[in-house]
Amino acid sequence: MPPPPPERPNCLACLHFFITHQPRHPYGCRVLGFKSLQYPAVVVFASSGIHCQAFVAKKPQAPNR
């Protein structure tokens, strides 16, 4: 497993992040298996005191031609 990032990971750049389209729980994390009102990394830090260990950066998309 890669070393944890020095600051809170950006959920929008994470492979596991998704939008639920549910007004009460708009954000979700596939690997941790939950939905929340806040970004998952914020919830993880608030509940455990450590930054999210499941962060995996999305691969850059190839430009459309």
pLDDT digits (tens, 9 = 90+) for 29-45: 999 999 999 999 999 99
Mean pLDDT, residues 3-14 taken together: 78
All structural domains of the chain with their residue ranges:
11-48
What is the per-residue pLDDT for 48?
Answer: 93
Measured distance CA(55)–CA(61) in Å, rounded: 18
Residue 11: strand, helix, or coil: helix
Select from 38, 4, 33, 3 the least CA-distant residue to 16. Answer: 33
Measured distance CA(65)–CA(48) in Å, rounded: 44
Measured distance CA(23)–CA(13) in Å, rounded: 21
What is the per-residue pLDDT for 4?
Answer: 53
What is the per-residue pLDDT for 62?
Answer: 80
